Structure 1
Amino acid sequence: MMWIMAPTNTYKQKWKPAISEKVVSTYFGKQAPNMLVWTFPVLFVAALGSLYLHLGKKTPTKTCTVMKETVAGAMEEARFSERLPTLTAKVAAADGIKVWQLKLVESALWIGLTGNVCLAFLFYPVARGSSVLPVLGLTSEGSIKYHIWLGHLTMLLFTAHGVCFIVFWAAIGKISEMLKWSYSDISNVAGEISLIGGLGLWAATLPQIRRKFFELFFYTHHLYIIFVFFFVLHVGIGYTFIMLPGFYLFIIDRYLRFLQSRCSVRLLSARVLPCNVLELNFAKSHVSSNSNMEPDRLSVIIKSEGSWSTNLYRMLSSSIERLNVSIEGPYGPASNHFLRHDTVVMVSGGSGITPFISIIRELIFMSKLSQCKTPDIILIAIFKSSLDLTMLDLLLPMTGSPSELSNLKLRIEAYVTKEKEPVIDNSKRVRSIWFKPLPTDKPIAAILGPNSWLWLGAIISSSFIMFLILIGIITRCNGECSGFLEQRRYAREAMQVQNMEGQTPEGSPSIMAYNGERELESLPHQSLAEATKIHYGGRPDLKRLIFECKGESIGVLASGPTKLRHDVAAICSSGLVDNLHFESISFSW
């Protein structure tokens, strides 16, 4: 509500003065209202959200210096209290500035303020381990699109903000303002450095660069450090309190991820599929996520498409005894909301089957529990070639047996679109490899241990309290030093007062290779074969397959190419039936 009301006269003329009158203190100074309105609520929600997840499992006015010199106090009041139409020719003529120039700089200021609001929300979606997203029912992978949209909007607004000011300075003959650095007011040079850093980061986010040169995109993204640092120097600490909470939660998350990635994790085994897909199996502690079917293991499936994944596939395709691996994560909440449906239809395209592998494994585990009723499962998997059918073998883990599917009502409709009949190549086989881990390798575990959410809440709370203490100390010291300097200036008439705002699973294999190769025609497992029907030379009639499903509540999950997900969404939203509940799963951005 505050973000919405901030640009209005109600907030500026009534709410802000009332808040400032009650909140401004000797200890925190004039920044107290900013911390109360913009920073404290978000960090309070983050800390309280961490506890919830554990149990359930007045703003100072900043002005461009040139405006203070040329428009003086009239512009100061007009900027925050009046709309553009109130900038009359009389005001402009009094200071030798044309009306369009006043309107231009006023627009630039409002554009900058709007960009600041976008920046305030920019970091929440990429704080993967933050409690804010799961409390709101969001996931990091599902929220990344908001980060992308906000990033584009933020840079578009800040670029327009900078260009408008450059045009204004050029129009009034004071282009030298671009070189002005101020320690107590708006610093133009700092803003320009911040904008240049942001533009460099923004340019590398183009899909053509991000997908083909991901490392360039990744490392260029670290320009956010320069962008944020000089942004703070540009606008001052007052406006920083608006974007501080999101950025602070991101910094905490980034530091914890950095600590986690310093350790080498225990890689137990791998399966190398002939369709350029591999599965890595890690040891994990019981507090980590993943299917309950394997309480001490975590599986990661990787499709060989880019240079990094291709090199990894080639490495595992050769004889290898050990692989040094570090990991960040896992991220995302454990979810079993699909249990509320009578039938769950999973539609996948290519490697889009990977999220459904985890779901099916979890349902296999739940089907063994007598008190748990599992829904009927229909998996519609679309592949390009027969080799891709080997991905169905991943529905069962390496340590699983076909009998584990007996209690699950599973039906698989597999479609091979590029071939009209099976293509058998005996040289293409699934290879299973066991690695030799070192004693120093550790299972994957939450960086803060079993009570990670509780510890995260404690970190957020305690660090914010320390921040308040530090701000208070700086404010008091600033006041005392300022008074001392004032006395020296009056006594010696030469001094200038300067603003000082300035557990380890047992029985891990120790052999290098495992001679567990299986031929393509033997896949998938025998019990999977009984549940699988393979169609060659065409695509599925998704509308018919979905509408044929029985039950009062049918969950429809789609994962894969964008067009496939849109097609399934269109079927579910057609209104022809009212028992379909659609959910899209996407991990490509």
Structure 2
Amino acid sequence: MDENSVDKPLILSRGADRVKKTPLYVSWVKSILKYVIWAIFIAWVTLIFLLPAQFVNRLFEEWIQATSGSIFGVTGSIFMVFSGPILVIAFLAIAYRLISGEEEPHEKKASKGPTFRLWTFPVLVDGPFGVVSATEFIGILLFIVYVIWAVSAYTIQILGSIAQYSLTLKQKSCFILEFLGLRFGSIGLYLLGFLFLPIARGSVLLRLIDIPFEHATRYHVWLGHLTMMLFTLHGLFYVIAWTIEGNLIQEILEWKNIGVANLAGVISLLAGLLMWVTSLHPVRKQKFELFFYTHQLYAVFVIFLALHVGDFIFSIAAGGIFLFILDRFLRFCQSRRTVKIISAKCLPCGTVELVLSKPANLRYNALSFIFLQVRELSWLQWHPFSVSSSPLDGKYHLSILIKALGEWTAELKGNLLNSSGTEPQKELHLQPQTKLTASVEGPYGHEQPYHLMYETLILVAGGIGISPFLAILSDILHRTRDGKPCRPRNILIVWAVKRSNELSLLSTIDMKSICPSFSNKLDLEIHIYVTRESEPPLEEGSAPETMNSSPCPASHGYSMSELVGTGNTIWSGLYVVSSTIGFVILVGLLDIFYINPFSISSWWYKGILFVTCMLASVFVFGGLVIGMWHLWERQNATRDECEDERIKVDKMQHAETVAHKDSCWQTLASSTHISYGSRPDFKEIFGNISEKFGPVDVGVIVCGPPTLQSSVAKEIRSRNTRRQRYHPIFHFNSHSFDL
């Protein structure tokens, strides 16, 4: 029997001997850091949760009075309580990542039996939230409970206070409205401290808990709806009270030096409402550009919020906003580089494959994605695409598949290709004069390759959703061939497509050339469902036709930049630490040499100075680190390596035009089952898996439309809740990106 036979777990192969055990002292340090991080986070969240209680509020006021005489004053005291913890956690997370190094989950000891995991157990599968895991459901409940509790506590307080005074009904109504309006605003401000954390794409916090950006955007959307609802109630209650008092216009236009600047708050709220309305699902789907452009008003929203409330109130949410600014500036610096498109080819289904140049030490996992900008199409639009190649496919390039589904992708295809003749799908040719100026942000994705955690994998794709699964398959084949630690040995791919011409996407991976003996080492099945064709085409059984690929001589540029938060932990850590220290220094110098000597007291003015310090610390102190990072990057890049890889890719593409499509399709044909005019029956599919593999953990990864995800999640939830002891546990993982 082959030592990597399908009857033998690959984790026990010769590559397992190469896995180095983590030293005991490293494990101890990691455990201590993890406990400290959790302790700080729980204490921080508990304080915010209990703050509406009167006794906690009194303790907080005593803290403010005791520390207000420091250099940083009240602003420093509030910042230390509400924003300081998240920055300290970021520092500790950097240390944790540095100590962890390249440790991967598949290197850890496998569990003896299947276990339920809250983060892969779907609880809600239909509704406005989409598919929600048990962990996400608990988080949603906690935020809802906090808002209900805080509003109830503040309402009881105001009703108790107002009973002590002899007021008219009009005065009572206005007093209650303004007090509740104030409290809605304060609750919204606490949530704002969380709102910007999920959209910091390369954030060390997301890397610490291994939440990729495509998942985190959902949390940003949920928090955004809740936060804007509270801010809207905040403004609405004040407007109603001012209308009752008869001074609505005067109050709206008021801009106080001591106290809140109402007009600045109105501008901030209007910007937030415009972002909120255009981010609703119907508008976002039908008018994506409108959503994208109006969402850039976040800068107006934040700046005028600081003008509205001043520095010390703004400091409540400043920590999360500061981490977002750090990530945004780093992405801006990375995206300035023009990236070379090594080659491009078109498949009969209209999908374009681009091969992009990257440096050898750019780190990413198979389930990663990039943001791509093509300046000939738009200077502002960035579109996410899953990486369709494994990091083991080549040191100096990565591939993406782009299907023409909208205006931007159709225009990209039109710029690359021209059409002539009566058979458009067979007469598409590359334009050698095509000029493309491409820029890239990323790659982003899971910190660890979680697809390697399971011995049995079910990959469910819809249409172009097969793209990341091609990367997974290639990654597993490379690891199997090279004897690297690799747990998966049973793989089922369920792929639903509209037309049979989409099958040509499978020709982008040649499993035989990657791992010649893969059939002896992997149990691979591919079930394809062609939903809009009732019978196979006449050329059934022949290899899907692909178009000749070609280098893009007009695509000038360099390798992708390494200036990405998910890349080099040391440099990105230095960037965060230096910017944070710089921010503290700038605020301290401002207080010592300007605010205190000149008795600056205007809230709005101190608010804009505070924001200026945040920006200046990132641009100056962080920019210095980025500059050194860039020089280090250039020193590590060698022209010879890139030239050798370009030649290698050119040869690879040329070989594909001759023999790739036939050998690849013949290899896949033996393990592929194609059904026409039907959709996947997940009840039958998961039932067969349950009977075949018994009590094991089965990883299910879905990439496709929401209806596909809901169908799979519903069946998994049903199977897991009715599970017998001799059946597997299915773990739901979504890889669908939905902005």
Q: TM-score range by the shorter chain?
A: 0.7 to 0.9
What corresponds to 2:732 in structure 1? 582
Aligned counterpart in structure 2 of residue 350 of structure 1, from 438, 449, 463: 463
In the aligned structure 2, how far is the partner of 1:2 from the partner of 1:287? Answer: 42
Please, what is the CA RMSD of the aligned residues?
3.1
Q: Which residue of 1 aligns with 2:502?
A: 388
The answer on 1:112 being equivalent to 2:112 is no
Paired with 1:473 and 1:281, the residues of 2 have a C-alpha distance of 49
Q: 1:437/1:9 Cα in 2 relative to 1: closer, same or farther (>3 Å)?
A: farther
Q: For 1:44-59, what aligned pairs fall within 5 Å after superposition?
A: 44-57=88-101
Deviation at 1:565, TM superposition (A): 1.4
Instruction: Give 1:427 deviation, angstroms.
Output: 13
Residues 1:459 and 2:575 are matched in the alignment: yes
State the match for 2:616 in structure 1.
Answer: none
Residue 212 of structure 2 corresponds to residue 139 of structure 1: yes
Match of 1:3 in 2: 48
Q: 508-517 or 452-461, which moves further after superposition?
A: 508-517
Q: Deviations over 1:17-42 (max 9, x none)?
A: 1x335533431112221121112211
Q: Is the 8 A contact 2:327 2:565 kept in 1?
A: no
Q: Secondary structure at the match of 1:287?
A: coil
The answer to whether the 8 Å contact 2:543/2:662 transfers is no
Whether 1:174 and 2:247 are equivalent positions in the alignment is yes
Asked whether the 8 Å contact 1:556–1:581 carries over to 2, the reply is yes
Kindly state the Cα deviation for residue 329 of structure 1 after the two structures are TM-superposed: 0.8
Are 1:416 and 2:527 matched, yes or no?
no
Query: How do residues 417-566 of structure 1 correspond to structure 2 at under 5 angstroms?
Result: 417-424=531-538, 429-437=545-553, 441-447=557-563, 452-478=568-594, 480-482=596-598, 501=606, 503=637, 504-507=641-644, 508-509=646-647, 517=657, 522=662, 525-549=665-689, 550-551=692-693, 552-566=696-710
- Range with greater deviation from structure 2 (85-94 or 509-518): 509-518
- Tell me the distance in 2 between the aligned counterparts of 1:133 and 1:208: 29
Give me the whole-angstrom Cα distance separating, in 2, the residues matched to 1:475 and 1:400. Answer: 66
Q: Does 1:341 align with 2:454?
A: yes
> Is contact 2:458-2:494 (8 Å) kept?
yes
Asked if the contact 1:348–1:560 (Cα under 8 Å) also holds between the matched residues in 2, the reply is yes
The one-letter code of the counterpart of 1:543 is: K
Could you say if the C-alpha distance between residues 334 and 361 of structure 1 is closer, same or farther in structure 2, counting changes exceeding 3 Å? farther
Q: How far, CA to CA, are the matches of 1:382 and 1:523 in structure 2?
A: 23
Of residues 569-578 and 193-202 in structure 1, the stretch that sits farther from structure 2 once superposed is 569-578
Partner Cα separation in structure 1 for residue 393 and residue 686 of structure 2: 28
Aligned amino acid, residue 575 of structure 2:
I
Q: Which residue does 2:116 correspond to in 1?
A: none
Q: CA 1:471/1:445 → structure 2, altered by over 3 Å: closer, same or farther? A: closer
Counterpart Cα distance in 2 of 1:501 and 1:92: 38
If the length of structure 1 is used for normalisation, what is the TM-score?
0.86
Q: Tell me by how many angstroms 1:334 deviates.
A: 4.6
Q: Which residue of 1 aligns with 2:28?
A: none
Letter in 1 for 2:606: E
CA distance in 2, matches of 1:31, 1:452: 34
Give the residue type in structure 2 aligned to 1:583: N
Instruction: Call closer, same or farther: CA 1:450–1:242 in 2, change over 3 Å.
Output: closer
Following TM superposition, by how much is the alpha carbon of 1:450 offset from its aligned partner in structure 2, in angstroms?
9.9
CA distance in 1, matches of 2:87, 2:214: 22
Structure 2 equivalent of residue 490 of structure 1 = none
Out of 373-382 and 160-169, give the one that drifted further.
373-382
Q: Deviations over 1:345-377 (max 9, x none)?
A: 111121221221111111111111335343211
Tell whether the 8 Å contact from 1:345 to 1:380 is kept in structure 2 after alignment. Answer: yes
Describe the superposition over 1:530-586 as per-residue Cα deviations: whole angstroms up to 9, x where unpaired.
221211121232222222223322212222121221221122222234432222222
2:484 and 2:301 mapped to 1: Cα distance? 54
Decide whether the 8 Å contact of 1:268 with 1:283 is kept in 2.
yes
Cα distance in structure 2, aligned partners of 1:440 and 1:389: 32
Query: In the alignment, what sits opposite 2:308?
Result: 234
Say which structure, 1 or 2, has more relative contact order (CA 8 Å, 6+ apart): 2
Larger Rg: 1
Other-structure match for 1:37:
81
Deviations, residues 155-188 of structure 1 (Å, cap 9, x unaligned): 2221121111111011112221111101221110
Distance in 1, matches of 2:200 and 2:297, equals 17
Aligned counterpart, 1:494: none
CA change 1:92–1:125 in 2 (3 A) is farther
- The answer to whether the aligner puts 1:379 opposite 2:519 as a matched pair is no
SS in structure 1 at match of 2:585: helix
259-268 vs 456-465, greater mean Cα deviation: 456-465
Matched with 1:492 is none
Q: Which of 293, 303, 308 pairs up with 2:408?
A: 308
- For residues 477 and 336 of structure 1, do their structure 2 counterparts lie closer, same or farther at Cα, with a shift above 3 Å needed? closer
The match for 1:72 is none
Could you say if the C-alpha distance between residues 172 and 210 of structure 1 is closer, same or farther in structure 2, counting changes exceeding 3 Å? same
Contact 2:154 2:180 in 1 (8 A): no
CA distance in 1, matches of 2:98, 2:550: 36
How far did residue 241 of structure 1 move? 1.2
Show structure 2 runs of 5+ residues with no match.
1-45, 102-152, 366-389, 419-429, 608-636
Task: Determine the C-alpha separation between the residues in 2 that align with 1:255 and 1:100.
Answer: 46
Give deviations 1:495-554, integer Å, cap 9, x for gaps: xx8777363523324989969658999585221122212111212322222222233222
2:407 aligned with 1:267: no
